[in-house]
Amino acid sequence: MSHFEFELEHTDSGSLARAGIWTTPHGAVETPCFMPVGTLASVKGLTPGQLRQVGVQKVLANTYHLALRPGPEVVADLGGLHGFMSWDGPILTDSGGFQVFSLAKLRKLDENGVKFRSHLDGSLLKLTPESAMRIQEQLGADCIMCLDECPPADAPREQMLAAVDLTTRWARRCRDAHQRDDQALFGIVQGGIDREMRERSAEALLPIDFPGYAVGGLSVGEAPPQMYETLDFTVPILPEDRPRYLMGVGTPTDLIEGVSRGIDLFDCVMPTRNGRNALAFTSLGKLRIRNEQFKLDESPLDPECECPTCTQFTRAYLRHLFMVKEMLGPILLSWHNIAFYQKLMRDMRQAIREDRGAEFRSVQLARWNASS
């Protein structure tokens, strides 16, 4: 019996947006879903209880970083990621493939895998498709990713072609090395913004028959309209009966545009990274809470949000926390931003089920554009 099941509940009549339920060993995930990033087995500044309080269903952790510290053996000995970080819901781990892009100056890549010089102390870490599977099996996430090569958006065609084909060969090796049937292994479609490359990647990965497929290699330098156009011709190639995951994306607008094109899962550091830097996402658009205009503002951060930050504290107080460098400020804004993203996904799920997904997109984007 499979540990995973994806049930497609409804597809919006005016778009490709879809609502579903993805059942995992650690609970069901209603889709579309946004996963906060807990790179080092921690969503920065927030406890698992705080995440649950604002509706988080699933979190993400990173294979490369956890392989360096504390090491997969340590995590495995302490109950896997679920026990280690005291999170009883579903978890996804990236394979380290994004670090092939982001740490390009610290790595060497060949057919067998990739060698990193640690960004911490220069020590050597070698990731191959086989070791990426072994590490992720030790970490114990519900959903794990194939090792892939993520080329930059402006990579020349020859480099893009080589990355696509290497990603396919590595995907087969990951499939062959993967042993745990209580983990869903996703294949990753690469190809930049080139339609032919995306089609080549997807058509090579589909016969491997992964239980889910990710779209990687976006939000790495291309303009948003290019990303959306790439989704237009990539997502329809992917199986309708499997979860579709857009990796490392993004802004609230990106989420709406991705959902409208049939994406089910998202992750990004943006809510917490911006929260730590005094930028809040709200129903009225972005607010930079350090601005002088909020010094005496007694209103809530977002009048339409019911998170603890918005129901208990004023804009003036939040600004004060940042101005005096109190750690509570970044915590409260990160908490709100995560709550905002979760509410946005809940509202989209409801709109899709009521067959007004396209209307929701138009109204919400127009509202944000009017306030910018």
Catalytic residues: 94, 267
d(CA 340, CA 321): 20
Residue 171 is inside which H or E element, if any?
A: helix 157-177
| 125, 107 Cβ separation under 8 angstroms | no
Other beta carbons within 10 angstroms of residue 190's beta carbon come to: 28
Nearest to 286 by CA among 299, 270, 297, 298: 270
Backbone angles phi, psi at 280, to 5 degrees: -110, 140
- Cβ–Cβ < 8 Å for 332, 321: yes
CB 250 within 8 A of CB 268: yes
Q: Which of 197, 235, 211, 315 is nearest to 11 (CA)?
A: 235
Q: How many angstroms from the chain centroid is the CA of residue 41?
A: 14
C-beta contacts of 68-77 below 8 A and 24+ residues apart = 68/118, 68/120, 68/123, 68/125, 69/40, 69/120, 72/134, 72/135, 72/138, 72/139, 73/138, 75/41, 75/138, 75/139, 75/140, 76/138, 76/139, 76/140
137 within 8 A of 185, measured Cβ to Cβ: no
Nearest to 267 by CA among 34, 45, 99: 34
